Amino acid sequence: MTKLTLASYPHMLGFEQLERVLERSAKAGNEGYPPFNIEQTSDYSYRITLAVAGFSEQDLSITVEDRQLVIRGRQSDDGEDRVFLHRGIAARQFQRSFVLADGVDVGEAVMENGLLHVDLTRAKPETVVQTIKIKKG
């Protein structure tokens, strides 16, 4: 079976980067921890909210790596001297990745009641009309 790519379509010129982005996001995985929401807060802004109960601001890192927003969490294990009779609260590290389109910028990040909010803004696209002159050959 032949794999269809964007290069297979002659009218889709210059979309090779989009194909790479789609492949990268498919490889990111569909792990379920921590749960998250993505909401559109206006025509040109978004908010990603992750449920990070038990993590402090020092346990979390947010980076943008090659147009990919990466949120990592690692809890410091300060409870080595504690004895748990039952441990049902997850205390594991995580990494969540979100591929960002060109023109999407990461704004501020806020912790509130065990939720991490990361705000994103997208530049308003400009309408560009270009006239190409035809030379005699």
Higher pLDDT, 72 or 53: 72
- The average pLDDT across 83-101 equals 84
Distances (CA, A) of 106 to 26, 28, 98: 22, 19, 11
Query: Rounded mean pLDDT of the chain?
Result: 85
In this prediction, residue 59 has a pLDDT band, given cuts at 50, 70 and 90, of: very high
CATH of domain 33-78+87-124: 2.60.40.790
Q: Has residue 83 got a pLDDT over 90?
A: no
Quick one: pLDDT at residue 41?
A: 96
Tell me the three-class secondary structure of 78-129, residue by residue.
CCCCCCCCCCCCCCCCEEEEEECCCCEEEEEEEEECCEEEEEEEECCCCCCC
Residues with Cβ < 8 Å from 119, sequence gap 6 or more? 41, 45, 46, 47, 106, 107, 108, 109, 110
Instruction: Identify the weakest region by mean pLDDT among 12-16, 26-30, 58-62, 100-104.
Output: 26-30
27 pLDDT band (50/70/90 cuts)?
Answer: low
> Which pLDDT score is estimated for 67?
87
Return the pLDDT at 89.
73
Instruction: Supply φ then ψ for residue 18, to 5 degrees.
Output: -60, -40
Residues 48 and 37 sit within 8 Å (Cβ to Cβ): yes
| pTM above threshold 0.85 | no
Domain ranges of the chain: 33-78+87-124
pLDDT of residue 16: 72
- What percent of the chain clears pLDDT 90, i.e. is strictly above it? 49
